[in-house]
Structure 1
């Protein structure tokens, strides 16, 4: 873009209703960390890592100990829709995050899909399922996450006791570090979930076990090694093993819901939880409704129960010994037992909102490495979670990798910064951008994007230094900051006649020359825009430089925002019309409405550019206020009637009805 003459000065440094209402407020429950020491006479896991929440993609409980469970983190993300692809990636030596899309019918009936170490197998949305087959973890397998799947229907008619088939949903022998979360298991040939033979560091959470005889068995060993957390699971229409825990060193069961137990007159093998052998079991704040033998223990076992609710139950409720204190291994927060039925029925099983998350730098060393792990043609959102810190590197999201959510995980957007310092003189305007987004359907939130090239310290012909450039469609920025000087934020499209849309909300943008510019249809709402002083008393710069295609009714809309400045009064323009390469069909459209303007804004705030008159552009204001919001002959005001057709919805809807603002 045309260089502005002169340099800027350096920048300054009760009843059911109440219970249900409470449940809806528990989405962020279950903080998980660790304090204390294990008992000296039993295996001693390491302390747990930092806290997690109900919707975290990080395992909690025993699966979080002794180095944690990360599954396929660090590997490529793949999406599978058939048995051959699932089997190939699940058995591979290298780590993979495997997304199961739709229903995969396994043949021959009841066959195994072997899952090797360092894998995440996760359903896409709430419809990923494996039918007629089993996920099988062989001895020695380590570090596996299985989430958000339905595994169903390998039952053989007439084999209610599973004596002739061994078609489990998931079976594992002598494995370690496994997280089984938010799955639905139903109507299988033997057990739904069998975790056997000294498997260690396991968490089973938020699953549904339904329509089955032998739901969930653990053990089959005389050793006392297994450590397991079992929480927020729903056992519904099952008969026994809910679970059966044989010789577990530690079995921590909390906030589970047992209901609609199968009743076939069996006085012994119809039961809820059973601590067998030398198991130490702790049960907390669970809910048993219509269950025979809710919880029982062998004479050699220890079982502690506290806080659970029993409704219409019969039979054994054993409790003896001291078992162990789960807080010696990890921290956790119990949900009220009365809330468990409503909470677990709503939040257990596959969930539409659970997706793949790639962590930077824990699993991928750089943001770009995480982007590169996303498959081309990606059709399902992948979240790249960026830990607090300063990442001095460029990032490019190519057009082949849509549906990415780039998200900082700090308390404030300033905690996570992606920054570089390239000016246009060293790579052109596009090459100067710290971050470039060419893909469609990308969201960035809780981040700061910066180009910290110091235009006052270096003599160059071009001082453009972009913090962000977008060319994709349906781009969203929420709670983000864009820091720079000239050309800070460019929202563009692949070519003049292609309309791309960008929505910026609750964000901060700063700059001096043309620092919000391009031809994309762009809405900036509820944000702060800072006009930086370059030290001039007469002309410190231009806020916008739109290059809207003349065939596009909507260019830039700045609404319900606040413009601030440290520049002198009457020294800043609201914008000028940019015609790239002298293109006559690029006719800027900018509307600033319902926005506070500072005294730094000129009374005649629009100006010409490169021989093109601002009066030929489409510059208007509507109901602005503040010391810089004068109404003069040089400030076109939009009529009430036209303003009704220039709303956020009008700018963004397009032909597909895109409405990102409706998420709030």
Structure 2
């Protein structure tokens, strides 16, 4: 915004422009539980205190985002990582993106009825195909990976109903669910296969580095076949799958160099009186197979091996089984290849029946890794489709990202998530002043979309206003115009105009919630017209070296029809400025618009001695007395009572809680999560 100010005052050495040398970003002061007015004032945080540490790593979830087993080896399987995210609902769109030369993350939303019946949709290299929740289905068709295809992830889909009545043995129509020939690095995870034309999943002809995990194979003759080759090349991990109501190939593994089967559940086997071709696991040819901690319930021939194969079984449970349980040779030790965690065999039925097949929580949140898959934060934002209807999380690794980031209004539901131990580990910084592009152009990060969140990050504009004399020294670290924006455990660093929370136009209400965060600046460094709550946070008012006026914390431009502007609550304001030299705020009327009538409430917050006894002041010819400024139960050395200091009554304060500011018409309540 435009300010009318006297000659530039000298700076102290405390601003971020002087603190952001490479590798020298100081951690924002740590936050504990902040003290309300009724309790004793909170002690000052120790100098140089680090941010709150993140929780330690959890055990691997069955919904892990990265493949394990053989698919994780030899460079790993990343699918469409690094490509654009698209959502498909038609066969034409699925075929277009699945067959493209470039990488894609393809979200399947809804059932895609494939025509003609049994048609194969080709899947090219570097693809992730994932169902959105439990909605993604491929009906009457198959997915096919042709020779030479590599790096494919297929997850969370239902693939069903290409079965042709009267063709129980699948000899007439080769309509598999997923078929792959001579491919490498494939992860098949959390899918459901049901009533298909031939094999549900065929892994053929020297396919290598394959993992098949947490799938359901049900109501069919042939489940999972591996081989159709004389070469002994395939390496496959098969874990936590449920073979329910299937007859054979659970799996059949022909000439596999390594076949590692663990924690699988075989139940309700088809019983058609066939003494040979009704079976569980079969090591065929020269396969080396290891079976661990699986559960066989009512299965004929639970596991068997040809005379030329090797099979080792340990730890499995057999309940009501009959027939062969072969043991031959020493096979191999899977831990020579990768680490893994075995679940107890007795727990497998409950675990697999719960977690196998499509999951409600998968596919709804797409994860993009920066810089592992996308070199910059902006490149990851660019990969998000316009009008995306699912949450996209950008996991940003520790480091300093010197770039501008723009999240346009047509890209809602993006989450920025720093992955470091502290918010100071991951910094997005740039140094543009308003003189070189206006206040919006100066913003290091601009969020115009709604339903965006940021966590465990630091946002900085490190323009050095002391070193350059400009007409337009405003330099925003962050500007928002979208609705329902959440900042949690974030830091905002700058001098003038550090954080602007705005809306698309004056009479449109946008809401922003800031919790457990750090905010610093000197002039109007929390400003705009959005309804904004700052809770349980630390606000640092930087000194400009003046003995009389060091700046203004807020500059609200709330629309007159909006009763809620800025609420700073249960927080702490600190300052190194001299006593009585800092304002709580002033009213900003952009362009002199009289309908911008600022509203600010400082509630149950500690104030430093730097706050003036008359803490509100006029701006650009508009009196602060015409704005809606007040305090409620502030405390600390800067909270002295004076005639020029409006206080909100208990009755008024009852209508100015956090929920009142945020609820709007849709009941938004991020403070409760």
For the criterion TM > 0.5, the same-fold answer is yes
Are 1:363 and 2:373 counterparts?
A: yes
Are 1:594 and 2:604 counterparts?
A: yes
Q: Which residue of 2 aligns with 1:659?
A: 669
Of the structure 1 ranges 462-471 and 532-541, higher mean CA displacement relative to structure 2 is found in 532-541
The question of whether the paired residues in 1 share the 8 Å contact of 2:9 and 2:545 is answered with no
* 1:272-297, Cα deviation, whole Å (9 max, x unpaired): 32222222222233333333333333
Displacement after TM superposition at 1:255 (Å): 2.7
Q: Which residue of 1 aligns with 2:629?
A: 619
Displacement after TM superposition at 1:6 (Å): 1.4
Are 1:8 and 2:11 counterparts?
A: yes
Q: Which residue of 1 aligns with 2:102?
A: 94
Displacement after TM superposition at 1:27 (Å): 11
Displacement after TM superposition at 1:551 (Å): 0.7
* 1:12-411 to 2 correspondences below 5 Å: 13=19, 28-30=58-60, 54-354=62-362, 355-411=365-421
Q: Which residue of 2 aligns with 1:420?
A: 430
- The whole-number CA distance in structure 2 between the counterparts of 1:486 and 1:260 is 69
- Equivalent position SS for 1:359: strand
- Equivalent position SS for 1:411: coil
Q: Which residue of 2 aligns with 1:470?
A: 480
Displacement after TM superposition at 1:471 (Å): 0.9
The question of whether the paired residues in 2 share the 8 Å contact of 1:27 and 1:55 is answered with no
Q: 1:241 to 1:393 in 2, by over 3 A?
A: same
2:537 to 523, 527, 530: 527
Q: Which residue of 2 aligns with 1:607?
A: 617
The question of whether the paired residues in 2 share the 8 Å contact of 1:358 and 1:370 is answered with yes
The question of whether the paired residues in 2 share the 8 Å contact of 1:3 and 1:463 is answered with no
- Equivalent position SS for 1:344: helix
For structure 1, the 5+ residue unaligned runs are: 14-24, 31-52
Structure scoring higher RCO (CA < 8 A, sep ≥ 6) equals 2
* 1:433-477, Cα deviation, whole Å (9 max, x unpaired): 011111122222222111111222222222211111111112222
Q: Which residue of 2 aligns with 1:33?
A: none
- The whole-number CA distance in structure 1 between the counterparts of 2:646 and 2:325 is 79
- Equivalent position SS for 1:303: strand
Displacement after TM superposition at 1:512 (Å): 1.6
Are 1:446 and 2:449 counterparts?
A: no
1:570 to 580, 583, 590: 580
Q: 1:340 to 1:542 in 2, by over 3 A?
A: farther
- The whole-number CA distance in structure 2 between the counterparts of 1:297 and 1:10 is 76
Q: TM-score, normalised by structure 2?
A: 0.89
Q: 1:309 to 1:596 in 2, by over 3 A?
A: farther
Displacement after TM superposition at 1:240 (Å): 2.2
Q: TM-score, normalised by structure 1?
A: 0.90
Q: 1:575 to 1:139 in 2, by over 3 A?
A: same
Displacement after TM superposition at 1:57 (Å): 2.4
- The whole-number CA distance in structure 1 between the counterparts of 2:316 and 2:643 is 74
Q: 1:551 to 1:531 in 2, by over 3 A?
A: same
Q: Which residue of 1 aligns with 2:571?
A: 561
Displacement after TM superposition at 1:412 (Å): 2.3
Q: 1:275 to 1:551 in 2, by over 3 A?
A: same
Displacement after TM superposition at 1:3 (Å): 5.2
Displacement after TM superposition at 1:314 (Å): 3.6
Q: 1:307 to 1:546 in 2, by over 3 A?
A: farther
Displacement after TM superposition at 1:270 (Å): 2.8
